[in-house]
Amino acid sequence: MSTERKRKVSLFDVVDDTSASAKLSRMNGGAGGNGVVSGVNRWNGRPYSQTYYEIFEKRRTLPVWQQKDEFLQVLKNNQTLILVGETGSGKTTQIPQFVLEAVDIETPDKRKKMMIACTQPRRVAAMSVSRRVAEEMDVTIGEEVGYSIRFEDCSSAKTVLKYLTDGMLLREAMTDPLLERYKVIILDEAHERTLATDVLFGLLKEVLKNRPDLKLVVMSATLEAEKFQAYFNGAPLMKVPGRLHPVEIFYTQEPERDYLEAAIRTVVQIHLCEPQGDILVFLTGEEEIEDACRKINKEIGNLGDQVGPVKVVPLYSTLPPAMQQKIFDPPPPPLDELGPPGRKIVVSTNIAETSLTIDGIVYVIDPGFAKQKVYNPRVRVESLLVSPISKASAHQRSGRAGRTQPGKCFRLYTEKSFSNDLQPQTYPEILRSNLANTVLTLKKLGIDDLVHFDFMDPPAPETLMRALEVLNYLGALDDEGNLTKLGEIMSEFPLDPQMSKMLVVSPEFNCSNEILSVSAMLSEARVSSATASSGFYATSGGMNHRKLLRLMQVVAVSQFSLMKKWEAQKAADEAKARFSHIDGDHLTLLNVYHAYKQNSEDPQWCYENFVNQRALKAADNVRQQLVRIMSRFNLKLCSTDFNSRDYYINIRKAMLAGYFMQVAHLERTGHYLTVKDNQVVHLHPSNCLDHKPEWVIYNEYVLTSRNFIRTVTDIRGEWLVDIAPHYYDLTNFPSCEAKRVLERLYKKREKEREDSKNRK
DNA sequence: GAGCACTGC
């Protein structure tokens, strides 16, 4: 063996020379006499540099329960307190209980107690943590300790400690601007910097000035502590230690050209050379994950029964829950008693970074990428881009290896690139999003001066301008930027402003019942995934067997797999034809919803018609919530007679009243241009139209292999000048084909008016 | 004729 090769190989080895790297070096040095060895040679192309790095904070700080007295003292003397601690510190369950013991929540009105609020970014967390705390305190959930999330309020007059999502607290602030029912507010997982958390930050800073009796505790992971401290005017900072095991971090010596290939190679290396323990691989999306799973199975399969058996499990959010559960299965047993141990290999998106925790993970492979949302205010488009993760995210990923025992994390990038290229934090969501909805919420909260609002990270002025502009066009804000009556009602809907607008005006078009259904279906579109027409699974082509399997969530997978691929295909096509509406996808969604209700939400019917029952159920839930809000504002629930020729026309007009800024025009060249922005776009192939309409409204603009508009419906040019003349004001319109068409339409309308005047 | 990271109200 050459010294050169030996040196490189030994870099992989940090434990001792008998395990991983010893085997590796033997294999590298070996002549490749059998399949196993040559297989390894191929995968073991590049060596690793290694650093040893402890995630586990040395016990400089006392565990949370030993700092109780100090915590309460600091809280007593300060209005705001920042508490930092890694996962497993127990702060989420302990701190609220300390507060509860020490803080006086009695009010002059003996019947009314004040509450302590503890926010979480996710519903499941709010629910599960509150349950755990209720158990620890030996009370019934929903009584002294409760939770409140969308669609479920599990709290009562007795509740003194309430867990809720950050979005829910923000909603409450809309009706209770000083949050007067709370004595202490604890913002947990603040480092995640969700949109709602960021808005709450600025809002609470104001509220604290007006409510000297209110206390705020900001709980976060360590990395941004100083920034938080500076933002909250130098509030005291306390630390509690986490309880993670040490994790060794390895870097590659050279950058990897192909991270997918490198990730698979590393999986095989670990499987061959490392002791027992499951592997977690972070990749960016569904397709990539499914591809990687196939390749890992194949590569390890090629190694024969010299190596332990593996169970490769994909994990991403659109995977049906039953299949997500597989991540909790135990690893496969060894093939024979003395054989090498089996291993579970989870290949996951970022969902495993924060939302889902898998025990038994000892090895983490981090290629350093994730899909991230970016917003381009110039063309008003949000898109997903594969981009490098932040240091904070890399840290979080490696921590996943040390939950149950000491672990290892393999970063598929160089140490230099970690320190020089990765930004310290992921840009907070508020800097990466379309803020139309957020601005509407802020206005409703009484924040008039957005420019001087104390954002921890102020969004780009252009993004705010775009949001104000959209809200002004929708009539939610007047020309001075003040919330209108209409805007006030719109802000109450948990929907994007365009959708709220179409809902609020739908009674004027005599079709609010139908618009409610369309809105609910559109807002639950993500549940069904894979087709633009949410709620049902049919596509006319390209759908493979695996995907159909995944989509059929309501039935036993085994039953479905008996169906031959072409049979499934044919059935899917027929199902699609059954619901399809030639005027557009929105109307197709409506048809699906109606059919679902007409068939009494029958699971068997859903199965036979390729309808995603889970998505429909969720949409129905949303619809009920929207109906309640409509009733609160006395908005009429009405429908045009189904046999009237205006039935669908009214629905399409109402949709246009909200979505008049998302219109595309078919040019003579045969492609579509979005109005005003003049972006070349294509109808997404999933659309159900049988023709190319001159004008369409679209629900989404997506940038993938091309610029697509997805979920489209045919509308008439005349309606543009009738329904949204303020937006289609030609004095302020870029010169283009659409403009010339509109000019003719305006002239036509003018002539019609004159004619009717003359007739009188 | 293509494909959606993750949340939340």
In whole angstroms, B3 C1' to A525 CA is 14
Confidence of residue A570 (pLDDT cuts 50, 70, 90): low
Nearest to A120 by CA among A164, A176, A63, A72: A164
Residue nearest to nucleotide B5 (CA to C1'): A371
What does the pLDDT look like over A44-95, one tens digit per residue? Answer: 445 566 665 444 444 456 777 778 888 899 999 999 999 998 777 788 888 9
Pick out the nucleotide with least CA–C1' distance to A523.
Answer: B9
- Spatial distance between the Cα atoms of A721 and A726, rounded to a whole number of angstroms: 8
Model confidence at A204: pLDDT above 60: yes
Residue A30 reports pLDDT greater than 60: no
pTM: 0.85
- Give distance CA A631 / C1' B5 (Å): 36
* A66 secondary structure, DSSP code: G
* Through-space separation of residue A79 CA and nucleotide B4 C1' in angstroms: 43
| E runs forming strands in A343-393 | 343-348, 361-366, 369-376, 381-388
Region A501-508: mean pLDDT is 97
3-state secondary structure A554-587: CCCHHHHHCCCHHHHHHHHHHHHHHHCCCCEHHH
φ and ψ of A327, to 5 deg = -65, -20
Residue A194, nucleotide of least CA–C1' distance: B7
Closest nt to A526 (CA→C1')? B4
Question: Cα(A359)–Cα(A261) distance, rounded to whole angstroms?
Answer: 26
At a CB cut-off of 8 Å and minimum separation 6, what does A32 contact? A38, A41
* Distance from C-alpha of A343 to C-alpha of A334, rounded to nearest angstrom: 9
- Provide the pLDDT confidence category of residue A470 given band limits of 50, 70 and 90: very high
pLDDT tens digits for A739-749? 999 999 999 99
Give the C-alpha separation, A321 to A744, whole Å.
54
User: How high is the pLDDT of residue A613?
Assistant: 82
Which residue's CA lies closest to nucleotide B7 at its C1' atom?
A122
Query: A189 and A173 in contact (C-beta within 8 Å)?
Result: no
Nearest-CA residue relative to C1' of B9? A494
| Strand B positions closer than 7 A to protein CB | 1-9
Which nucleotide C1' is nearest A149 CA? Answer: B9
**What is the distance in angstroms measured between the alpha-carbon CA of A391 and the sugar C1' of B7?**
21
**How many Å does it take to go from CA A471 to C1' B4?**
27
A284: Cβ–Cβ under 8 A, 6 or more apart, which residues?
A: A349, A369, A370, A371, A386
Nucleotide nearest to A318 (CA to C1'): B4
Query: Of A167-181, A189-203, A395-409, A537-551, which gets the smallest average pLDDT?
Result: A537-551
For the CA of A395 and the C1' of B7, the distance in angstroms is 20
How far apart CA A217 and CA A300 sit, in angstroms, is: 49
Provide, in whole angstroms, the distance separating residue A525's CA from nucleotide B7's C1': 15
Q: Mind listing the pLDDT tens digit for each residue in A532-556?
A: 333 344 332 333 333 333 333 323 3
Nucleotide nearest to A166 (CA to C1'): B8
Quickly give A275 CA vs B9 C1' distance in Å: 46
